[in-house]
Amino acid sequence: MSSYDNVFVLDHPLVQNKISLIRDINTKDKQFREIVAELAILIFYEASRNLKLKDKNITTPICDTVGKTIRDEIAIVSILRAAIGMENGILQMAPNVKVGHVGLYRDPETLTPVEYYCKLPNDIAERKIFLLDPMLATGGSAAAAIKFLKSRGAKDITFLCLIAAPDGIKKINLEYPDVKIYTTSIDKKLNDHGYIVPGLGDAGDRLFGTK
């Protein structure tokens, strides 16, 4: 938990070590992508701690027994494009989850989100949703995605990001107090261009080498 409501900061040493590596301007695309995927797995691991289980009959090489399997239906929803880096990690660990995509980019002048794509599982309203975006800056993109998911009936949304700014956290807390946020860091502030300080720069550009 953090000093904000509903915000969980992963303070595990492995996580903190990895987030420092990808903040570093000298970390190249390949390693950046690998670490984003690893961090996403670790954040998802923590955020999914309260998933419901059900019994499952299993036959081991020794005998019959009753094990556990996950009862909740899950979807991860990636805010394009930077969340693709997180999605790739989570799908390694949980290959059977359904995946939705919401395409949003921030208008560089107004910093408001512009939607350009959306494809969600048909039964999204029944699923426990983990919404992914590495960066929570002004919170405009996350809020727009949450609004959209709720308009499609979503009732259970958890937001997973690598780095959060206080502005974004306050916006989500205020507009969507039911949405929990999992992150590895709450950074100091936003700069005049809406970038997180100290942050890690433009997550999409660093993942895909577009700058």
| Contact positions vs ligand URA (CB under 6 A) | 82, 135, 137, 194-196, 199, 202-204
Q: Which of 65, 110, 112, 178 is catalytic?
A: 110
- Asked if 62 and 108 touch (Cβ cutoff 8 Å), the reply is no
Which of the choices ligand URA, ligand PRP, none does residue 132 contact, using the CB cut-off of 5 to 8 A by kind?
none
CA neighbor of 40 nearest in space, from 108, 107, 87: 87
Return the closest-CA partner of residue 91 out of 125, 121, 132, 149.
132
Cross-strand bridge partners of residue 102: 79, 118
- Count CB atoms within 10 A of the CB of residue 57: 9
Q: Are strands 98-106 and 74-80 parallel, antiparallel or unpaired?
A: parallel
Residue 100 binds ligand PRP (CB under 6 A): no
Cα 184 from Cα 17, distance rounded (Å):
10
**129 vs 162 by CB, closer to ligand URA:** 162
Does residue 140 bind ligand PRP (CB under 6 A)?
A: yes
Pick one of ligand URA, ligand PRP, none as the site partner of residue 85 (Cβ within 5 to 8 A by kind): none
Active site residue 72: no
Q: Is 81 in the site for ligand PRP (CB under 6 A)?
A: yes
Buried/exposed 7-42: b ≥16 CB within 10 Å, e otherwise: bbbbeeeebeebbebbbeeebeeeebbbbbbbbbbb
Q: Which does 124 bind (CB under 5 to 8 A by kind): ligand PRP, ligand URA, none?
A: none
Are β-strands 64-70 and 53-59 bridged in parallel, bridged antiparallel, or unpaired?
antiparallel
Report how many residues bind ligand PRP under the rule CB under 6 A: 23
Which among ligand URA, ligand PRP, none contacts residue 141 (Cβ within 5 to 8 A by kind)?
A: ligand PRP
| Residue 138 within binding range of ligand PRP, rule CB under 6 A | yes
Catalytic residues: 106, 110, 202, 205
Binding site for ligand PRP (CB under 6 A): 79, 81-82, 104-106, 111, 113, 133-142, 168, 194, 202-204
